[in-house]
């Protein structure tokens, strides 16, 4: 029997396994960020069809311990709501948690939408949890999710060490949150941030 799958990150065109551990996921649709102390904001969310909340409770508490200000969108989050929140807040990180097994299918749709909108294209995004319903076969989804634009993919059964390292390594995005609240999603002339994938390979 094989052990738990290792997380993976995208480094250029390569998919690199991370030897350590990573995600699950707090509860409730939170409008305001919960202060964490380091001035960085993370949006924690589920996908549109996923009604689970325990994973979001875990993720919020975990990220608050790392000092992030957490905006928890709760369960069953429509794609457009997530995109609107990202446009309004310009978070330093987005973490998507899947428990119902639709992580691969819905995650692809969401990340393609996010990456297609210029003001949002460089936001680091992690997806983790149950990517599919094929058990060990879910590992085949990792490369496709990374190629579609996720910066880190964490399969069900991994721990938290690699995800912690990834989250702690991210620099604060210039003008994140405060700047985004004053701009309209998709407005012309925005996005002078770093190019997509700037945080790739940040893990040791």
For residue 139, give the CATH number of its domain.
3.40.50.280
Residue 48 lies in a domain: yes
- State how far the Cα of 123 lies from the Cα of 137, in Å rounded to an integer: 29
Task: Kindly state whether residue 117 falls inside one of the protein's structural domains.
Answer: yes
Answer yes or no: is 199 within a domain. Answer: no
**Which pLDDT belongs to residue 133?**
84
Domain annotation covers residue 196: no
Q: Let me know if residue 189 belongs to a domain.
A: no
Residue 159 pLDDT: 79
Domain count, the chain: 1
Write down the pLDDT at residue 32: 58
Provide the domain limits for residue 161: 8-181
> Is residue 58 in a domain?
yes
Walk along the chain (204 residues) in steps of 10 and give the mean pLDDT of each run.
45 42 37 64 96 94 95 97 96 96 94 95 95 84 95 86 92 56 34 32 28
- Structure pTM? 0.70
Residue 200 inside a domain? The answer is no
The closest alpha carbon to 158, from 64, 62, 22, 58, belongs to 22
* Sheet strand arrangement including 41-45: 14-17, 8-11, 152-155, 125-129, 93-98, 41-45, 69-72
3-class DSSP string for the chain? CCCCCCCEEEECCEEEECCCCCCCCCCCCCCCCECCCCCCEEEEECCCCCCCCHHHHHHHHHHHHCCCEEEECCCCCCHHHHHHHHHHHCCCEEEEEECCCCHHHHHHHHHHHHHHCHHHCCCCEEEEECCCCCHHHHHHHHHHHHHHCCCEEEECCCCCHHHHHHHHHCCCCCCCCCCHHHCCCCCCCCCCCCCCCCCCCCCC
């Amino acid at each position: 029997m094989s052990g738990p799958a290792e997380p993976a990150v995208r480094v250029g065109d390569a998919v690199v396994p991370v030897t350590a551990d990573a995600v699950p996921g707090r509860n409730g649709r939170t409008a305001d960020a919960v202060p964490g102390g380091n001035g960085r904001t993370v949006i924690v969310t589920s996908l549109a069809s996923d009604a689970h909340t325990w994973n979001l409770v875990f993720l919020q508490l975990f990220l608050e311990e790392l000092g992030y200000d957490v905006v928890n969108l709760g369960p069953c989050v429509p794609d457009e709501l997530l995109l609107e929140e990202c446009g309004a807040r310009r978070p330093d990180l987005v973490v998507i948690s899947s428990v119902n097994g639709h992580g691969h299918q819905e995650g692809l749709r969401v990340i393609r939408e996010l990456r297609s909108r210029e003001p949002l294209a460089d936001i680091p995004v992690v997806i983790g949890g149950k990517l599919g319903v094929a058990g060990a076969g879910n590992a085949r989804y990792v490369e496709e999710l990374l190629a579609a634009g996720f910066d880190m993919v964490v399969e069900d059964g991994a721990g938290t060490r690699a995800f912690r390292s990834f989250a702690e390594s991210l620099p604060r995005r210039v003008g994140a949150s405060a700047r985004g609240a004053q701009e309209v999603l998709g407005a012309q002339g925005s996005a002078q941030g770093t190019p997509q994938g700037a945080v790739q390979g940040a893990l040791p």
